[in-house]
Amino acid sequence: MKKNLLIEYGIIILLLLISAGVIFNNLGSSNFFDWDESRHGENSLEILKTNDWIVLKYGGQPDFYNVKPPLGAWLIAFSFSIFGVDEFALRFWSAIFGVGTILLVYLFGSEIENKCMGLYPAISLLIGYYINRLQQHFKIEKAKFMGAFLILMIIPFFSILTLTQS
């Protein structure tokens, strides 16, 4: 029993380290990929400049073009205040949500069947992310919100599954 728990924690730690290594590798080394990325960065920078965490601004004026909820801008503004204003801080939360999604895919698959059932999809997701990143189609908006969406969708299923098994 103790050996199985040790193996489980070892797999989780290894998966987290590999995922973080792949996803965080050169995260801030490239320029902005598209206008979405720069717009989200500008919204977050305006939050820090004006200290207005409610109304998103672009160029000092309310940003009516961005109709998304402000959580993404808040997270980016928070990372700007910690890491400074650069590409790494802009993409930090997308990377965190990516690592979290890979971990939750592993945990969900492991709970459904076995450790292999969790590990194969998690590794496939990581490889897919890496290939996508190599092709430079990584977009901050899609990655951040898709990662958060996947995490928020997997957690209830995981909770229901564990409740029905106990």
pLDDT at 138: 47
pLDDT at 135: 42
pLDDT string in tens for the chain (166-residue length) = 677 888 888 989 999 999 898 888 888 777 766 677 788 889 999 999 999 999 899 888 988 887 778 888 999 999 999 999 998 999 899 889 888 888 988 988 888 877 777 888 888 888 776 656 544 444 555 555 666 666 777 777 777 777 777 6
Find the DSSP H helices in the chain.
Answer: 2-24, 35-50, 71-83, 87-112, 115-134, 140-165
What are the sequence ranges of the domains in the chain? 2-165
Question: CB of 116 within 8 A of CB of 99?
Answer: no
Report the C-alpha gap between 98 and 104 in whole angstroms.
10
DSSP letter assigned to residue 39: H
pTM, to two decimals: 0.74
pLDDT at 108: 86
Exposure class string for 20-57: b at 16+ Cβ within 10 A, else e: eebbbeebeeeeeeeeebebbbbbbbbbeeeeeeeebb
Could you identify the residue written with the tokens 């928070």?
78
